[in-house]
């Protein structure tokens, strides 16, 4: 039987991982489809890729924190329910 702390920490890690990965890909998608970026020559493409990666990392970091908080809340709410069913 997992303790409350283990359950909450596992939920935090899962939430942060999912949020970070989803946020990174969402940020990359938003920037890649932006009309402000130039994809015509090599220099514009390199600049656009750099801007896209920076934006994706920023959005991914923000979503990582949001996912961690969501995992924390879900772990706190779900951990007593899971341990209550195991005691029976």
Per-residue pLDDT tens over the stretch 1-58 = 467 778 788 889 999 999 999 999 999 999 888 887 877 888 888 888 999 999 999 9
Amino acid 16: pLDDT? 92
Amino acid 41: pLDDT? 86
Whether 56 contacts 31, CB under 8 Å: yes
User: Is residue 20 included in any domain, yes or no?
Assistant: yes
User: Is residue 86 included in any domain, yes or no?
Assistant: no
User: Is residue 38 included in any domain, yes or no?
Assistant: yes
User: Is residue 26 included in any domain, yes or no?
Assistant: yes
Look at residue 66 and tell me whether its pLDDT is greater than 90: yes
pLDDT confidence tier of residue 84, bands split at 50, 70 and 90: low
Amino acid 19: pLDDT? 93
Exposure string over 46-66, b if 16+ CB within 10 A, otherwise e:
eebeeebeebbeebbeebbeb
Residue 50's domain spans which residues?
Answer: 11-76
User: Is residue 3 included in any domain, yes or no?
Assistant: no
User: Is residue 83 included in any domain, yes or no?
Assistant: no
Amino acid 80: pLDDT? 67
User: Is residue 4 included in any domain, yes or no?
Assistant: no
Instruction: Say how far apart CA 32 and CA 88 lie, in whole Å.
Output: 53
User: Is residue 44 included in any domain, yes or no?
Assistant: yes
Look at residue 85 and tell me whether its pLDDT is greater than 60: no
Report the number of distinct structural domains present in the chain. Answer: 1
In the block, which residue shows the tokens 């090599």? 42
């Amino acid at each position: 039987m997992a303790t409350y702390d283990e359950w909450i920490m596992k939920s935090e890690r899962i939430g942060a991982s999912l949020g970070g990965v989803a946020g990174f890909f969402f940020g990359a998608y938003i920037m890649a489809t932006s009309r402000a970026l130039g994809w015509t020559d090599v220099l514009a493409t390199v600049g656009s890729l750099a801007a896209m990666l920076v934006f994706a990392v920023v959005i991914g970091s923000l979503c990582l924190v949001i996912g961690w908080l969501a995992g924390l809340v879900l772990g706190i709410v779900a951990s007593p329910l899971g341990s209550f069913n195991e005691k029976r």
